[in-house]
Homo-oligomer: A and B are copies of this chain.
Amino acid sequence: MFSVVYIICRDMEEAGRIARALVEERLVACANCDVVRSVYRWGGRIEEDSEVSIVCKTTTDRVPEVVKRVKEMHSYELPCITWWSLDGGYQPYLDWVREETLPGHETKGR
């Protein structure tokens, strides 16, 4: 089973740093970062800010570790980290996602 993890970061510097660490540690197979305009309430006021979203593809088995690692690396007190299951995809791509996120491979090919 495969999932998308959707994360919001402070800026592209933080998003790039977190995305690289997740790929490096084989917690996700790939990550797509994008600048967004965010609207939310904080301290009783409506805030509007530029932030950066990350869409990660990984196996559902790896999701709890992804959530834990993103929280550790993130500069926010309360980072937006959410996930949902995929129903499918191009099978050779999904096979690649599985291969890329196998825990036993952590030290290979570096």
Contacts and interface: CB of A to CB of B under 8 A. Distances in A.
Given A32-B8, A46-B23, A87 B83 contact: yes
Contacts of A70: 90
A75 interface: no
Contacts of A73: none
Interface string A73-106: 0000011111111111110111010001000000
> Copy number of this protein in the oligomer?
3
Interface residues of A, number: 58
A38 B44 contact: no
Contacts of A14: none
Contact of A39 (B20, B96, B110): B20
Given A44-B109, A79-B93, A87-B85, A39 B67 contact: no
